[in-house]
Amino acid sequence: MQTIHLVILAVYVLAMLGVALYFLRSGRLRGGDDFLLAGRSLPRPVMIGTMLVTWVGSGTIIGGANFAYTYGPIAGMVFFAGTPVGILVLLLAARRIRRASRHTIPELLEVRFGIGVRTVAAVVTTIAFLGLTASQFVGGGYVVSLVTPLSATQGTVLVAVVVTLLTVSGGLFSVAYTDFFSAILIVLGLFVSLPLVFAAVGGPAAYWEGLPEQARTFSGGLTTLQLLGYFLPLFLLLLADQNMYQRLAAARNEREARSSTVGMLVGSFFVFVPVVLLATAAAVLMPGINGDMAVLSLASEGYLPAVLGGLILGGAVAFVITTGSSYMLSGASNIAYDLYARFVGDRVGERRKLVVQRLSVLGIALTGVVLSLFFPTVLELQMYSYTIYGAAITPVVLSVLFWKRATTPGAVAALVVGAATTIGWRIAGTPGELNGVIVALPAALVALVVVSLLTKAPDPVRIDAVDASGAEDGTDAATDARS
């Protein structure tokens, strides 16, 4: 533990809480819609920062680093390739997503498939986001344990408290603006670290020769199906990630949504490429350590100057806090809009929704802390959560956007089969050491297609309703006119 690391971490956390306090006192939160979508007013730089940092949480700097440390740089790039490939697909659909946007993914599904699908999707989404939130808490606990005398478990609780305060106070306003500043900190720290770490290794040639022989292969020793099992969860989650859809809905207009997606695509390379290189350099410098700690150990074990090491550790906390707050906010929206407001009815005003969302954030935080105790690594927790969302939710969301023949029974079948197969595969002990997505995704797709084709075609009115903007106040048109 170095004092400079503790000081930098403390300054960063206090700055984030200061931003949250500012938005809490600013009076901008007039209801649940402002809490979730920041008044649909986020400028482009903030949009790019919040989309990027929301996506690259502890699953990148800890879980993804673990994978690269274990299987090598090429396999590590394949693992992360799901991000840019998914963003490209998202880019092609950005306008349609923005036009069809609602508060939540289940709300979008209700327009096409009805209330039953919305309810099932809300439950599945909330379960997945609980796991993703827990993974951020675990990752943050690792970092705090390196910088302070606290244990990893105590650090997990501390991070959960900070993330909860940030989310409850300002909603997407505080989350998005802390994301923006965190993105700058993260990218700067990673890129400045690269030449210093490679100098410690002895240069590129020494780095490559120092890698284990298996880590220099394309697959890192994994079979094709095993490697695909790591690529698909990130790719599938991004295609229908409620966080991304909500960010696109928070943009000022469709043009801003599309350009922000391009910015996220470019920015993603400035994060995952350095993470892979730093993690695999750690495999040369520190063989045999816990892979979760690959990048973090470079900062804590003296391979980087103290100030830069503090920036890396602060950046890791930034990953955790911003991504954790995003998933908490998104999960709370499912509870408030898809479960509470939907069944209570029109009596629920915006102020009541705001209260329910804040109470939901507290509930998610408590559950996330408990869940974090049952998964030994961030990588394992994130793969499980990515899969249950990607295999169950993503096929149904894509059918709303791109397949008019999908029916309500088909959507229900895909949701149930995708989620049940993922859970069942884990209970069975992940046979063949294959991630559940290899089985759950095909099962969900077959259920969606077969049941849809065997049931009555959907009403064309429901199909057309999807294209009606979720913001019926003419925001896009008005903003475009001002542009």
Residues in the chain: 483
User: Is 60 exceeded by the pLDDT of residue 43?
Assistant: yes
Cα–Cα distance between 337 and 331 in angstroms, integer? 10
Cα–Cα distance between 159 and 179 in angstroms, integer? 16
**CA triplet 321, 441, 273: central angle to 5 degrees?**
45
What is the structure's pLDDT at 38?
A: 62
472 is a domain residue: no
Looking at 20-24, 78-82, 89-93, 408-412, which range is the least confident one?
20-24
User: Is 90 exceeded by the pLDDT of residue 417?
Assistant: yes
Using a pLDDT cut of 70, give the percent of the chain over it: 85
Local confidence band at 467 (pLDDT 50, 70, 90 cut-offs):
low
What is the structure's pLDDT at 396?
A: 92
pTM, 2 dp: 0.76
143 is a domain residue: yes
Which residues face 42 on adjacent strands? Answer: 251
Residues 378-393 have a mean pLDDT of: 76
Give per-residue pLDDT as tens, 112-135.
888 888 888 888 888 888 887 888
254 is a domain residue: yes
What is the structure's pLDDT at 48?
A: 86
194 is a domain residue: yes
Residue 142, domain CATH: 1.20.1730.10
480 vs 80, residue with greater confidence: 80
| Domains identified in the chain, total number | 1
Local confidence band at 478 (pLDDT 50, 70, 90 cut-offs):
very low
123 is a domain residue: yes
What is the structure's pLDDT at 256?
A: 79
Identify which of 272-281, 384-393, 417-426 has the greatest average pLDDT: 272-281
**How would you class 431 by CB atoms within 10 Å of its CB: exposed for 0-12, middle for 13-18, buried for 19 or more?**
exposed
User: Is 90 exceeded by the pLDDT of residue 301?
Assistant: no
**What DSSP character marks residue 459?**
P
Give per-residue pLDDT as tens, 188-212.
888 888 999 999 999 999 999 999 9
Residues 46-71 have a mean pLDDT of: 83
What is the structure's pLDDT at 24?
A: 65
Residue 315 belongs to domain spanning:
3-376
- 48: tokens are 């790019």
User: Is 90 exceeded by the pLDDT of residue 281?
Assistant: yes
289 vs 353, residue with greater confidence: 289
